[in-house]
Copies of this chain bind each other. A is one copy, B any other.
């Protein structure tokens, strides 16, 4: 694609040089709790500031300090920001994993490593850059206590030199990271980065083919993680009651929300909070509070992960059966049980759809990017109140906890929609109301909020049998009427969920369907199929459950449709199987990945290629 300025000092094992400008991946192997997060963010941000599409993925253990952690940065001139399995450039800081990390590299990769590890003895087909980190850190950081922290910044400097990352951008990124208040820390880190840069400049002759070159593909964009984006969405959706219980990977969603609400949702005059955020004692309590608040008219939410959702099961059934709005963020991690709390999966799709005993169905929204975390959050709150039901916003650890490049968020166009709430005046005019009567044919009754000052406003909410006046009943007909109304309501939702994103290739005989973070891999996979196999593939990304007619049409127009699932049991496919006609089901194929890492395009491509017999 372009010529390299630096030619390797020695030819490595006959590997053809790959085009490697703005199109490679870096992996930093370290231990958690060692402060590498700062160095990694700064690295990613510096590249981003150079206008180059970039993505970062943190693979960290479920403990606090001392265990192996890997951070990968992918630069992609072509804009692919999904995970890529192959590592081109390794920064080996962790003695425990260094050997295995190096052995797994493809030939021609480059390695920056802590000199005492002597990794260059392991292979001869790699580019090695040994760095004496301890020696370099001592002069720039006189205080020994802080050295461990600052040490990592050295590799940022080394990489800047080897990969042609502009040191100015590193500096800017550092300032951004530490803000004005921590100028001292920023300086310390900057010195470390400089030391690394200077050392590399003085020591290394570049032999590898990887480097960056300024582009203009990130102008105006932001970097944000999905959890913070969800938090912003919730705030701009007007959330008022937030209840939660800490659990990875959802914790930072509420923690960012706290920060933003403190800044933007206190009354400017009184200084009082126009919201309440409550850390509950567990998930039974957090969902109970959210349901109670939703019932009383708040826009309420909670955020959790799989184990929390399991605990919420009884209450969410109540919300369904008693028509109570609430938004539940499920930031999925690897299940079942405690599973791998710091790995990603789309493993709760099927069980959430039918959560709780008895006949239930719950709508789910599937954002795939920070932008959608924001916009679909706003839609979800409206949807919950419009349809008076618990709504899941399904993200995952990959989206929620990793930093993503994103277009800035658009201010919501539509005003907040609070659904069918009758005021005292309304009741006065109507002379009364029946809480669960399907007046409008959409399965949604009118409700009043507690505190409404009209003698006909009150009704009694219960999870036991109720007729359309919300009165207790055990009658067969009342029960069936109510359950049929709820089923009908779910059908009506199909007309109101966000529509899928569709990329039809007119010549395509196959199609792919996915949700959420599978998007990046699937889009890249479509290109791989086209470029490498000459196969045209259409693609539909669903934003919501229940499914709409679009999906059926999509299946109809293709011979085979690959449903991509980040779980073992093909859960998204399962939801389709539950409701589609056999002729549509006959066309469905399953692509599943469930290893806990963000999905990469090659895995999808290989699977499709295998099943297609290409």
Query: A residues bordering B, Cβ < 8 Å?
Result: 61-62, 305-307, 309-311, 313-314, 317-318, 320-322, 334-343, 345, 347-348, 350-352, 354-361, 462-465, 474, 476-477, 479-480, 483-484, 487, 567-569, 571, 574, 577-578, 581-583, 585-586, 594-597
Contacts and interface: CB of A to CB of B under 8 A. Distances in A.
A347 to B, nearest CB: 4
A477 to B, nearest CB: 8
A158 B582 CA distance: 57
B317 A594 contact: no
Contact of A465 (B340, B462, B567, B574): B340
A437 B101 CA distance: 27
A337 B464 contact: yes
Given A351-B358, A352-B357, 16 more contacts: A62-B464, A309-B357, A310-B356, A317-B335, A317-B336, A318-B338, A320-B336, A321-B335, A334-B358, A339-B464, A339-B465, A343-B474, A359-B594, A474-B596, A577-B577, A578-B578
Contacts of A583: 582, 586
Given A338-B463, A578-B578, A351 B354 contact: yes
A463 B356 CA distance: 21
Contact of A339 (B306, B358, B577): B358
A61 B571 CA distance: 39
A338 B464 contact: yes
A581 to B, nearest CB: 8
A567 B351 CA distance: 18
Given A336-B357, A568-B487, A595-B480, A314 B321 contact: no
A359 B571 contact: yes
A594 B360 contact: no
Given A311-B313, A317-B335, A357 B348 contact: yes
A474 B596 CA distance: 9
A569 to B, nearest CB: 5
Given A340-B474, A582-B586, A585-B585, A357 B361 contact: no
Nearest to A340: B465
Given A313-B313, A594-B483, A355 B359 contact: no
A117 to B, nearest CB: 22
16 contacts: A61-B474, A306-B357, A307-B317, A310-B314, A311-B314, A314-B337, A317-B337, A337-B463, A338-B462, A338-B463, A339-B358, A340-B464, A351-B360, A484-B568, A487-B569, A577-B578
Contacts of A335: 317, 321, 356-360
B351 A336 contact: no
A359 B568 contact: yes
Nearest to A573: B578
Given A351-B357, A354-B350, A357-B351, A479 B340 contact: yes
Nearest to A585: B582
Nearest to A463: B337
Nearest to A335: B358
A355 B358 CA distance: 12
- Name the residue in A306, A341, A358, A581 with the highest tally of chain B Cβ atoms < 10 Å from its Cβ: A358
Given A339-B358, A358-B347, A62 B483 contact: no
Contacts of A462: 338
B476 A597 contact: yes
Nearest to A477: B595
A305 B567 CA distance: 29
A484 B594 CA distance: 10
A359 B567 contact: yes
A310 B319 CA distance: 14
A516 to B, nearest CB: 16
A474 B595 contact: no
A193 to B, nearest CB: 31
Contacts of A321: 335-337, 339
A317 B310 contact: yes
Nearest to A595: B476
A577 B588 CA distance: 13
Nearest to A358: B335
A597 B597 CA distance: 49
A334 B484 CA distance: 14
Contact of A358 (B336, B479, B582): B336
